[in-house]
Structure 1
Amino acid sequence: MKLILKWLLSAVALLCVAYLYSGVEIRSFGAALIAALLIGLCNAIVRPVLVVLTLPVTILTLGLFIFVINALMFWAASGIAGSGFVVHGFWAALIGSLLYSVISLVIESLTGRLLLGK
């Protein structure tokens, strides 16, 4: 049940990103669900491999290269998703992934408080 709730809230976070930033477009809630699933899969499967492979660059940049990896995962998900989820270039992916991370953090914090009753 928690996994489905997290998936739905991730889709809502993507819709918020598309609303706040014009570099990211989402055509429908269904497209947001698919995009959230793809972002989650990319982050679970591809991102750890990229983090290990780029560890020297990440160390040299004091961890800032992780932002580039997050943007690439965001952009890759839009490429896989098709026309329902569109990211207009790398810089849009970077800004979109930052917004997505912040909004997801806020949503998860609020839902954690609601579920725990605090």
Structure 2
Amino acid sequence: MLRFLLNIIVTAIALYVVTQFVPGVSVTPPDDPWAFMWVALVFIVVNAVVGPVLRLLGAPFTILTLGLFALVINAALLLLAGWLSGALGLGLRVDGFVPALMGAVVMGIATWVMGLVLGSVGLKR
């Protein structure tokens, strides 16, 4: 349970970093940490439910592009999380594919850095 809560916090911080550096990705209200926590929960659920299906279907393209198609899959997951959180009234807004792609890259880097910092806590399973 602690690992799951830590995963939500790390994802929320990564989403905050994305909203600060990527134009076209925003969470409203921007100063409410609970908004980021709820959006992070939606993103984690989308990533856990839809992510494996997209990765399985996109595996040939990922192999063919030497892993670059994984960025497209992550961008699609961010777009889907944005749509779903908008439908739930949680406030994540992604203005298109290019901001989603840039957001996926920044989110991956931010999550990786936080994983290095929190490595002793054990984000990995």
- TM-score normalized with structure 1 length: 0.87
Gaps of 5+ in 2: none
**Cα deviation code 1:72-99 (max 9, x no counterpart):** 0011000000151101100000000110
RMSD: 1.6
Counterpart residue type for residue 106 of structure 1: V
The sequence identity of aligned pairs, in percent, is: 36
Aligned to 1:112: 119
* In 1, Cα distance between equivalents of 2:83 and 2:45: 14
Number of the residue aligned with 1:103: 110
Deviates more, 1:77-86 or 1:91-100: 77-86
Between the aligned partners of 2:3 and 2:61, the Cα distance in structure 1 is 35
Question: How far apart are the structure 2 equivalents of 1:69 and 1:12?
Answer: 21
Q: Once superposed, which parts of structure 1, at least 4 consecutive aligned residues long, lie more than 3 Å away?
A: none
TM-score (norm 2): 0.83
CA–CA separation in structure 2 for the residues paired with 1:109 and 1:88: 30
**Higher helix proportion:** 1
Q: Is 1:61 matched with 2:65?
A: yes
Structure 1, unaligned stretches of length 5 or more? none
Task: Give 2:94's match in structure 1, choosing from 71, 87, 99.
Answer: 87
1:32 is the counterpart of 2:39: no
**Cα deviation digits, residues 47-95 of structure 1 (max 9, x gap):** 1111111222222222211110000001100000015110110000000
Residue 42 of structure 1, CA deviation: 1.6
Are residues 89 and 3 of structure 1, via their aligned partners in 2, closer, same or farther at CA, if it must alter by over 3 Å? same
